[in-house]
Structure 1
Amino acid sequence: MAFRRPDVHGVVMALVPILLSLLGAGAPAALAAPPALPPASRAPGVMRLAPDADARWVSFDLTPGNQIRFEMTVDGRALTAILDTGVSYSVLAKRYAEAAKLPIAAGGSAAAIGGAVDIGWVATREVALGGLVRTGGGLSVADLPAIATGSARPVDLLVGRDMTGNYALDIDYAARRFRLLPSGRLPFRGESAPLAISREKRVYIGEVTLGAARLRPMVVDTGDGSAITVTSEGWRAARLTGVRTTTAISFGLAGSVVSTIGIVPALAVGQLVARNVEVRVEPVGGFSEAIGAAGRIGSGFLQNYRVLLDPAAGRMVLAPEAGADEPPLRSTSGLLVGVEPDRLRVLHVMRGGPAAAAAGWRAGDLICTIDGAPITRDYAITPLATWSAGEPGRTVTLGMCDGSIRKLTLAAFY
């Protein structure tokens, strides 16, 4: 089987997307005195885009969770960030803020995958990203665990709508680079779809047509490692037949959620018709429903295209990359695993999969070897990581960290 992104599909975390949506400020939380002041009430700072912004490409890599990871500076200090258009106000890791001895003010609370999270606030002098510099303003602060990227190391910052929303964001997934341009620029040709900033939640929103349903608003979320996510109501409205489904787990800032997933033959995003798309269906009362959205368009979908996000111009432009309509890699093991420095942790056993049919598999199990090969720190980018989406019929020998051995025969099950 060919190895291609997204490697979250049966490879590194076997279909586990990492959902980092932090949408707006809610009721104040009692973090400290004086009472919390939400991000929307604070001074936004002054943005300046360099005249040569066209040439200010930012190189990135994709995390095992399919997020865009890169380096930038805050107050002259280099840090690691993720580009996350599903975040209203950029979020600095509490761990980083405390290590840098930054004064953290109370910031209220925010809706996130899995529930609500407390947030703080730190003032900044200068935030620099490619050709964009913001002076003044500040950053929200929250816990950003390593599981948020699917890798062994956490990131320091989520760069959200407050930094990018006034510009055209050109993401070249194939070349692993992005840049910010003046709104209205059209650096490449592709299929167009409507795009805006939600007035209430202050995130990027678009729409999709799935089966018989036109679903909107859909949060366009580069920080969401999955492809397309819809509400239970949206899935029912689509009236699709013949789609085999299973279950998967998603992780957000506030916890985990188990959803249904399946591969649909086609869906439309504006003028673009995409084929063989993985769709995740949230449980009733899930995150999207709770925030009044129809679902999310994530990086697992966007990475198949050259992408221009320009909400000020009202458009998203998608130009297919080679293989954009190829079927995504599917788990054939039925195990969703997270990467730790020298082991894999089972996060979820997928409904109807080989692991569910075998005895003994459960969340929390630790795997230390695969066919005798140890789990190394660079496991996520090695061919070994493809085992869980391997050829049906292959038997994989898994060495558990307690010294026992388990065998698992791979199979197609959704």
Structure 2
Amino acid sequence: MRALPLVVLAIALALPAPARQPKPAAPVALSPAPTLTADSETRWVPFDLTPGNQIAFRMTINGRGATAVLDTGVNFTLAASAFAGSIGLKATASGQAAAAIGGALPIAWAPVESVDFGGLSRHGGRIGVADLSALATGTTQPVDVVVGADLLATHALDIDFDNRRFRLLASGRMPFRGTSVALSTAPQTGTFQVDATIGSARLRPLLLDTGDGSTLTVSREAWTTTRLPDVGLTSAYAVGLAGPIETDLVVLPQVRLGTAPARNIEVRIEPPRGYSTLTGTAGRIGNGFLQRYRVLLDPKARRMILSPGKDADRMPLKSTSGLLLSYEGKALRVLHVMRGSPAATDGWRAGERICAIDGAKLPDDYRTNRLGQWPAGTPGRTVRLGLCDGGPERALTLAAFY
């Protein structure tokens, strides 16, 4: 069984409207469109899902190997500052994104010679350069590149989650059968958008965000239109490129995407005037939703195809402890205590550090070890937690609370 992710993460980024864009220090040429090789259809790219539930793979920039995550919620490709420096990318202009999850994100621009992965290549153009922390990108180590919609919007993207691989295809291809959902691109950013129905409310547009590890996130304003009662809500924690945010959390029996009913969906509700509201969207759909399917994203053909995978209707793994944790080298740091949870009742606080579970120190393979399942363990079980500060052990009895 896969370990419960220690923290649920989200990445999204949007440039402001042209009239509001910061003036760059120097003109930056637009990037050319990427092209596909003749054998692109056969060139599957293997990937892993990170602890933050993101698609991690290998690519090259200027012929140099790089670790990357696939992020349709970012309108342009970003390189980490440290990686850009290591391969000699020189920033020629700077600016600031209007909105990223958690705040605003400073951006620089650098010209590149080539970008390649799978059957896709782009020669010339630019990429953004920014500080990409490990926490914000959902990995145990910082990634080098976040691949955005500028490289993905001109072709079809076929993501086979069950077999952990993806490929790029010519637009218009239909490599498998499934339910068709209308897909559009935002006029200013080119990011992907769809509509969904919760209760009797149609939420539009929703950002389709493969860089977001969550399932479905909606704005507080959009949630209000569903007229659903705030029953079963708790709180949760997410981290974006620009910082952390706290959301409400509920699991709904059904959400409809086009004509396709999706069951047992975890929904996060942003605070008033959160990221979605500021960027003119009703929310976003992340990998927690998409990985239930084989997915074809074809923005030029204006459609998304969903074919149910092996776990399409599974119930999401629920916390029974109420502790959202970050694994930090032999210790667990409490990032957030969920509202109404056993941990909240017992007085746990963000920032506390756990070094032992039921008398056992955290092993090197904690993330995949069965010991790491305890935050979502069987209700009624009592877990003994040893704090790193040497204080007395604390007992926490697990319970279903949302």
- Choose the corresponding residue for 1:378, options 354, 365, 369: 365
**1:43 positional shift:** 2.4
Which residue number in structure 1 is paired with residue 87 of structure 2?
Answer: 100
Amino acid at match of 2:336: H
CA contact (8 A) 1:229 1:297 kept: yes
Distance in 2 separating the partners of 1:306 and 1:388: 29
**1:398 positional shift:** 1.5
**1:99 positional shift:** 3.0
Q: Structure 1: any 5+ residue segments left out of the alignment?
A: none
Provide the TM-score with structure 1 as the length reference. Answer: 0.92
Which residue number in structure 2 is paired with residue 135 of structure 1?
Answer: 123
- Choose the corresponding residue for 1:144, options 112, 118, 132: 132
Distance in 2 separating the partners of 1:367 and 1:352: 21
For residues 46-195 of structure 1, the aligned pairs below 5 Å read 46-110=33-97, 111-195=99-183
2:238 is the counterpart of 1:250: yes
CA contact (8 A) 2:136 2:243 kept: no
For residues 222-261 of structure 1, the aligned pairs below 5 Å read 222-241=210-229, 243-261=231-249
CA contact (8 A) 1:396 1:407 kept: yes
Distance in 2 separating the partners of 1:337 and 1:42: 43
- Choose the corresponding residue for 1:362, options 334, 341, 349: 349
Amino acid at match of 2:89: L
Q: Which segment drifts farther, 346-355 or 147-156?
A: 147-156
**1:157 positional shift:** 0.6
Distance in 2 separating the partners of 1:81 and 1:350: 31
**1:229 positional shift:** 0.6
Structure 1 residues 337 and 150 mapped into 2: Cα distance closer, same or farther (>3 Å)?
Answer: farther
Q: Structure 2: any 5+ residue segments left out of the alignment?
A: none
**1:36 positional shift:** 5.6
**1:289 positional shift:** 0.4
**1:242 positional shift:** 7.1
Distance in 1 separating the partners of 2:219 and 2:259: 23
Structure 1 residues 216 and 28 mapped into 2: Cα distance closer, same or farther (>3 Å)?
Answer: closer
CA contact (8 A) 1:28 1:36 kept: no
SS in 2 for 1:229: strand
Q: Give a deviation string over 1:217-266, Cα, whole Å, max 9, x none.
A: 10000000100011112111112247411000111111111110000010
Distance in 1 separating the partners of 2:368 and 2:73: 26
Distance in 2 separating the partners of 1:369 and 1:58: 38
Amino acid at match of 2:70: L
Distance in 2 separating the partners of 1:106 and 1:372: 54
Q: Give a deviation string over 1:346-394, Cα, whole Å, max 9, x none.
A: 11000000110003x1111111222233334432222222110100011
Amino acid at match of 1:118: P
SS in 2 for 1:20: coil
Q: Which segment drifts farther, 321-330 or 285-294?
A: 321-330
2:5 is the counterpart of 1:12: yes
Which residue number in structure 2 is paired with residue 35 of structure 1?
Answer: 25
Distance in 2 separating the partners of 1:253 and 1:395: 36
Structure 1 residues 101 and 125 mapped into 2: Cα distance closer, same or farther (>3 Å)?
Answer: closer
Amino acid at match of 1:354: P
2:272 is the counterpart of 1:317: no
2:386 is the counterpart of 1:399: yes
SS in 2 for 1:323: coil
**1:92 positional shift:** 0.5
Distance in 2 separating the partners of 1:257 and 1:36: 33
CA contact (8 A) 1:151 1:338 kept: no
SS in 1 for 2:53: coil
Amino acid at match of 2:71: D
SS in 2 for 1:384: helix
Q: Which segment drifts farther, 245-254 or 320-329?
A: 320-329
Distance in 2 separating the partners of 1:345 and 1:242: 29
Amino acid at match of 1:95: A
Q: Which segment drifts farther, 53-62 or 333-342?
A: 333-342
CA contact (8 A) 2:73 2:191 kept: yes
**1:29 positional shift:** 5.5
Distance in 1 separating the partners of 2:181 and 2:390: 53
Provide the TM-score with structure 2 as the length reference. Answer: 0.95
2:335 is the counterpart of 1:342: no
Distance in 2 separating the partners of 1:343 and 1:136: 44
Distance in 2 separating the partners of 1:36 and 1:272: 47
CA contact (8 A) 1:94 1:143 kept: yes
Structure 1 residues 52 and 120 mapped into 2: Cα distance closer, same or farther (>3 Å)?
Answer: same
CA contact (8 A) 2:61 2:115 kept: yes
Distance in 2 separating the partners of 1:36 and 1:262: 46
